[in-house]
Structure 1
Amino acid sequence: NDTSKLPMLQFKLSVPSGNENVKVNSVKLTASGSADDASAISAVRLILDSNGNGLYDIGETVLAGPSTYSADNGILTMILGTPRTISIGNSENWLVVYNLSGTASFGQTLAVSIDSNTAISAVGATSGFTFTPSGAPVAGNTKTISDISANVTSGIAPLQVEFASQFGTGGTVVQYEWDFDYDGVTFRPDFVSNLTGDANFTYEMAGTYTARLRVTYADGTVIEREITIIVSPRSDAPTIIEVFPSATIGPAPLTVTFTITAEPGIGKIEAYFWDFDGDEVIDFTSTTTNT
């Protein structure tokens, strides 16, 4: 609800061959959703997404803004401080990024779109003739205001996530607990605090995770919330070729030695993590041997 750098809309601008370089002057945005855009959004920025990952990263260029909506469900023209020239045969990814003020209510929504081709003002860099893009309308994300949030909900391993809680403080909450890889059955807190529900966690391995927050109030009330985190493998991640167990059957207690064969990809394998009972909890880690 008070998130900064919230990506709301990603779109690509391309200049096909056979044209001239194109200069973009402004982009007109149309807001929608049940929250009051004029008060719930403290800043709107237009960002050049230089690495195309859909996030506003440190060092990326602010093309326009910060600006604000003057009315709920309003129209905002983002005028570029310096017109952006896109060369023939090239394309760029742009982002619309919101800062939220924290005034929206739980369950309210925010959305933004580029409703028509004429919403993007562009001219030929040499001729000055008006260019009308194609591809509109383009709809962005619908943000539902929650009482927990994460600065990122997807990315490549290792993925560092900053979790935040908007639940009451000042004595009303006696304990915050986070289970960052909740299995849907047993709540195992990885983070416990009586001061804050804000916490950081790094997901080292690819997978789909449920992060679950449990908040306990002074009167005994317990509230739980969840958020899904999707972690993708690195393109240069090691590939497991085969796992060799020394035994697959035998009387208890059964001692088994596991040996793994893996291709390191780019670089080298730094560590081996073993989960012997499939409960998604690491039981053994080795940085020196594959056994």
Structure 2
Amino acid sequence: MAAVRKAVPLRLVGLASLRAVSTSTMGALPKQVKIVEVGPRDGLQNEKNIVPTPVKVKLIHMLSEAGLPVIEATSFVSPKWVPQMADHAEVLKSIQRFPGISYPVLTPNLRGFQTAVASGAREVSIFGAASELFTKKNINCSIEESFQHFDSILKAAQADGILVRGYVSCVLGCPYEGKISPAKVAEMGVSVVDSSVAGLGGCPYARGASGNLATEDLVYMLAGLGIHTGVNLQKLLEAGTFICQALNRKTSSKVAQATCKL
């Protein structure tokens, strides 16, 4: 049977706000946090220059060696809308799957799901948003209509024995609507966090979006709080350096920047 995993991508949290965690809340923090690395997909999807498939595959392998438990490998969307992901089938077939690591792929609709499964996907991700306007801009439908799309994918996944991971965007704010009412989302007990190596990516359609939380910064912060992630920070930094050199750009990770200065 398909298993739906609820996770919240915390993409708008800055290091400054993280320092404000008071000692009174420390007891409520989880002992362990699962990090979902979205760099190979969300991090690269809006790069102007097409990233060669071997570079994407090597990045995934380096992230695997760093011990990240979940790595979103690619997206099965129409190349017309996201040309960067046109090699999705080749990427999925080329990666070496490390034991104990999941490699979900994003499937925005039933057609994408079917293509992903035919290409060897064992787990897929579906995405919604807490913002009506973002949902309309991003996938051209309402929140309610997006649930209907999810239903068809969930039924197909259940029939094929494919795991499904669901997550919600814009839980802390929307570049179109602004503040999101807390009543729309659940923030209690969150222990699965999405982040992107080197802070790459963010929605290509949302002007003014702050981008993704850098995985290096997240790992560093959690380690400082005594929260286990199982991620090797040094290997993660190496993966960030590799992809930034390949893209000819600077990292957005504060930890990586500080390491370079040292």
Could you tell me the TM-score, scaled by structure 1's length?
0.21
Give the number of the structure whose residues are more often strand, by fraction.
Answer: 1
Give the number of the structure whose residues are more often helix, by fraction.
Answer: 2
- Work out which of the two has the higher radius of gyration on C-alpha atoms and give 1 or 2: 1
Instruction: Pick 1 or 2: higher relative contact order, CA cutoff 8 A, min separation 6.
Output: 2
